[in-house]
Every structure is written in structure tokens, then in C-alpha cells.
Structure 1
């Protein structure tokens, strides 16, 4: 019972931690999680004027959409099949003959038509339609509705694109404005949702469900290292890598019951012969011990220990001395402790997301450095 209560308190602390994070740093995490680090120093005024993250998303989505409307939205090709008076694209011989179209001076054609009714533009329209019900700012809500009408007049339909359509719509490198606009539109559906309670107030989904912000934190850290660690210095970043259990022999059905092992982030430096396994946790680093005092969480230690020891192989020298890091946001306590356990350096470290963005970035940059923390 005491252990359960401790976990409930830790969960409550995690929720309260979100409220302590400045909007500027939530935006910083979102940018790295979305691969938009190049926008880090922009939109200072919008950040200062927004009372919460959903309002910031709405302001910036409106800004990005208005900018695209002024410069023309991105076009795409839509496959069409129609009966025409002249040939366009490819002739559908079977339909033309079966319907006796040639004798009437018509032809069935299959062709690609340039259109603004693309999945990305429909996603933006759907996001702008959703936002007014989540906003308390009447002026901002009206701005969203105005843009919905503008997109509709431009030829964008209000049909929400499927996940398959969104995934297939690849955004090119030079389409930075579209990348920002689409990431903000996705954030509307991933993070900005109305509460189940009666009333006009809204909450971020991450405030109601710690899992969503944990994913944001995890992805932001992974993308941060991918952006900051230079390949020419020997670093490679592997987010979400799955490990296999080193099973030598087993019964026929055990594979369906063994849990999967999937790390959050792996950093490798071939030049330094180092491998660092990072597991992010959006919860309190410490928990109450039934014997008094506070301790690191047993389950987290066991999980990281399994990642490190289960992957040891004689043909992989880095696996024999790989480092492990458990990375937490700070909740009323700063922790940075390291131990050498069976030739593996294990580190428990917190990041104070309530600090200025520059300090958060510098602390993250220093994460891969372990050796200096170990006493002789």
C-alpha cells in the first residue's frame, strides 16, 4: 500500500511539474521533438503574448497559414478519372469502348490534376476548425474561423486526411514554412484537446495524461542530440532501438510472453569507443522508501541494468562497457550522481525545465560527458 501511495504521489508531482515549466521551454521541447530547431529564436513576441501552449500553437498556426496564403499554398497532384471532349492524360480504352464514347465524340481519361486540395492543406483546415472550441481568446478564435473560410474559398475541402495520406505527403527540405505549419496542425490533434468537464476551460492532453508529455520529452531529447552531436566528431544517434533478449534455448511459446526491450536513445562514438544508452522518465527521480528517506526507483534501475547487461557480447567491445543514463525533469530537487557497476557507468541526472532555455540547452549538451563525474 505504501509503495502504491508513493507511486501516486510521484505521478501527482509529475503533473505539477508541467505547470512549473515556462511556456518558452515547452515550445523549445516541441521544436526539437518536431525537428524544427531552426525556428528556436523566432516568434519571441507570440511566446510572450500567449498564456498557454494551446494559445501559442493557435497564434503560430494562424501566422504560418496567413503567410502561405499570401505566397500561395503548396499545390499537389490529384488522380482523376473523367469523360472529356478531348484527350487528357491516358485514355481508358475499356470504358470508352464499353460506353460507346468514341461515337459521341467523348473519351474516358485518367489524368493527374494540379490542386490545392492536398492532405497537408486539409490537415491545416481541420486543425483551424478544431481550435476555436479550445480557445478562450475570442479574437484568436475568430482569426482561426476566418482562415477556415479563406482556405475553403481557395479550394481546400474540409475532409480530414487519413494517417496514410499524411504519411505519404512528404515535405521537402526547402519547404520549411510548410513543415512548421504541418507540425503545428498535428500538435492541435496531439496536444490540444477539450476537457471532459462541463465548461469553457480547456487543458492540454499532457496535463491530463503524463504519457503525452513524456513522449514529447523523450522525442525532444533524442532530436536534440541528433541535431547537436556532430557526425564528424564520431557521434551517431539511434532513437527507439529495440533489443533482443540473449535467449540461448527456450520453450515454443515463450516469445509471445517476453516483454520487448526498446531504448529511448542510444548515442555511439566510434572514435572514442563509447556507447551511451539514455532512458528518459517524466516523473520524480526519487521515491519514498518504506524504511525512511528517499531512493532511486528500483524499477527504473532494473530496466537500465537489463539494457546494459543483456546486450553484452564478446564480438561487440562497446557493449562490454557501455554507459547508461536515466534522465528526469527536476521536481524540487537537482540530482546528478554516477556509479560504476560491473564495468558499466550508470548516471542519474535531472534537467530543470523551469530554468532559462539557454541553460536547459547547455545542460543537455553536457549529458554525454560521464567520466569526469566518477571519483577515483
Structure 2
């Protein structure tokens, strides 16, 4: 990846880093990385590497987490359960052995293997030779403790649940995921090739969507009554349908739903990484009709299903491309807002404030 003059397209790398920070859930670990952000503001791989190195070094000082894993082996004494079929089929008793199935306590867990894979990957991307060497040294340290180089599968990671008492593991795994996902869209030449569709629709859109969801999960506090739901699947209120209709009916999944029972508010957010306005048939500018229909369906389809659903608000959120937009309309009792956030802002704090204002609605606060 190559970054020219600290920017990727029109967006400063510092702000891309802010998106990655929230998208990867690293923001929940507080302000401990602010100094690194200022120091290395134009080198995103180095930022990620420093966070990962910091987390892994702290974890190694306290010893890696361990877990039981299922094993099977031919042993000279019984351990766990005997595999009678395998013992008989291989005539192991003739050699004084027995096939056993047992569980082994090990550091070679999916999360530790994920971290080792991340260290190897990020070491090849950072420009700082000393930092790259530290990443490779830590990967070698993990190897010596028994962590293999085999990268875990998504299924293995899905069942490797991190407990509430393993905060250091949460930080380490979040940093590792970010390191492995580090393939930013850029117009400059680099080691990672992305075609136009992947740059615009896959990488940038997914990053923006995850960053917005991660931002609200990190910044809106439960003690203030907020509940943040990401990637919420919505069901149609079907009264009758033919036998094959359910198989072809489009699914509905909104990016973020913010609920506050205390304030009696529900905000359904749908993010797009495109121009918020387009040319209309009879006017110079128009909101994209398919986006309006989409957010309208999200709101009206849930009427009567939840105490907050009947007056739920909608927010179509886009990055500011040509101009800033902030307009709203009330349709059938639902307030729908069309707004942009300036990702090219000089101060990342402006992005944070804008996203908070969009959710908290200071314009509607009582005098």
C-alpha cells in the first residue's frame, strides 16, 4: 500500500485511521493510542503494528491464554476415551498401543494463531525496520511457546469466545484482525491490487459501514439508555404468501439501529458510500429514489412490532462528496433525515462531533 502526501484519495490518512479504529472496535480501549496517532499520523500500517506489538508484549508478560482442544493419538497407556474401532483396525494392541481421544490443554488456540498470523502479515508492510523486526521477533516468541503458524478458520474463531475477564485478549485480537484486514483503497501503486468495483463498493463501503456502527457502539453509553444493534435483520409482516414466495422475497438488513427506551427513540441508520444526490428527471438534484424507498421500507415494515417502532426515525448517512447535505422530512409519522459527514475534515474530532450530533439531535433538545 502506498500513501501519497498523507491522503488516500481526498481523505486524510489520519481520518481513514479513525474509521479503522472504530471499525475494528479498538476505540473501546480508550485514549491509550492518542500519542501514537499523533506521532505516526501518516503511516497507517505502523500505527496498527505498534498497537499489535504493544498488546502482544503485554500479553506475553502475563502468559498467553490457554484452552482445551480435542486430540487423538496412539498411546502406550489409556488417556481419555478409547477409540475401539481405530485400535482394532490398525492392530495397535499388537504393538502395545491403544487409540485414544482426549482433550489437551494448549496455547495453540485460534486467537493466538490469529495473532501470530497478524504479526507475520504486518511485519511485511511496515516501513520501519525496527518495528518490523519486533513483529517478527514476537511471532518467533509465539512459535517457541507452542503457537503454530496455521491461520484459524472463521468457524474456529466463531467458537473461541473471549470472556469478560480477558480484556487484554480482546485488545490483542482486535488489533490482529485490523492488521489482517489492512488493505486500504488507494489510487497509488502498491502491493495490493484492487479493481475499481472493489475499491468503491467493497472496501470503502464496508469500512464506512463498520466504522459508523463501531463509533456508536463505543461512544453511546448504556447508562444513558442507549442500545446499539449492528447488522439488524428485519422481517416482513407477511399475512399470506404462495409456497415459493419466502424463497425469493428480498431480505432486509439495516446497518445500525439505535434504541433509547428512556427517551422513547429509535434511530435506523443506513450508510452509503456514494453521492447522496443525483440528477433528477425534472430537477438538477434529487435524493436517490432507491435509497429513500429502502429506508422507508425499514421503518414502515416494523410498525406495531415494538414500542419504539411506530415513531422510529431514519437516517441515510453518506460521506460528503461534492457538498454537505442535511435535510429531513416526516413521512407517515417517521422523520427521515438525509445527511453527510465530512471525512476530509482537518480535525478528526469534527467527524466524531458530527456523528454524535446526528444521533443525539441537539437541535431537538429542550431549551
Q: Is the alpha carbon distance of 1:170 and 1:204 closer, same or farther for their aligned partners in structure 2, counting shifts above 3 Å?
A: farther
Q: More deviation in 167-176 or 49-58? A: 49-58
Structure 2: gaps spanning 5 or more residues: 1-6
Post-superposition Cα deviations, 1:280-299, rounded to whole Å, max 9, x if no partner, equal 11222222345553322222
- Three-state SS of the structure 2 residue aligned to 1:367 is helix
- Three-state SS of the structure 1 residue aligned to 2:174 is helix
Report what 2:46 is aligned to.
Answer: 55
Residue among 312, 323, 326 paired with 1:333? 323
More helix by percentage: 1
Is 1:75 aligned to residue 66 of structure 2? Answer: yes
State the Cα distance separating 1:139 from its structure 2 match: 4.0
In structure 2, distance between residues paired with 1:147 and 1:206: 36
In structure 2, distance between residues paired with 1:201 and 1:180: 26
Cα RMSD for the two superposed structures: 3.6
Is 1:364 aligned to residue 352 of structure 2? Answer: no
- Three-state SS of the structure 1 residue aligned to 2:104 is strand
Report what 1:14 is aligned to.
Answer: none
State the Cα distance separating 1:345 from its structure 2 match: 1.0
Report what 1:9 is aligned to.
Answer: none
State the Cα distance separating 1:60 from its structure 2 match: 2.2
Q: Is the alpha carbon distance of 1:99 and 1:203 closer, same or farther for their aligned partners in structure 2, counting shifts above 3 Å?
A: closer
**1:78–1:113 Cα contact (<8 Å) kept:** yes
Structure 1: gaps spanning 5 or more residues: 1-16
In structure 1, distance between residues paired with 2:92 and 2:192: 59
State the Cα distance separating 1:316 from its structure 2 match: 5.2
- Three-state SS of the structure 1 residue aligned to 2:236 is coil
Is 1:320 aligned to residue 307 of structure 2? Answer: no
Aligned length: 357
- Three-state SS of the structure 1 residue aligned to 2:32 is coil
- Three-state SS of the structure 2 residue aligned to 1:240 is strand
In structure 1, distance between residues paired with 2:206 and 2:225: 27
Q: More deviation in 301-310 or 23-32? A: 23-32
In structure 2, distance between residues paired with 1:258 and 1:209: 27
**1:31–1:40 Cα contact (<8 Å) kept:** no
In structure 2, distance between residues paired with 1:82 and 1:131: 36
In structure 1, distance between residues paired with 2:165 and 2:196: 32
- Three-state SS of the structure 2 residue aligned to 1:366 is helix
Is 1:163 aligned to residue 154 of structure 2? Answer: yes
Q: Is the alpha carbon distance of 1:235 and 1:150 closer, same or farther for their aligned partners in structure 2, counting shifts above 3 Å?
A: closer
TM-score by length of 2: 0.80
Q: More deviation in 63-72 or 199-208? A: 199-208
In structure 2, distance between residues paired with 1:365 and 1:175: 29
State the Cα distance separating 1:185 from its structure 2 match: 1.9
Report what 1:342 is aligned to.
Answer: 332
- Three-state SS of the structure 2 residue aligned to 1:61 is helix
Residue among 211, 236, 248 paired with 2:227? 236
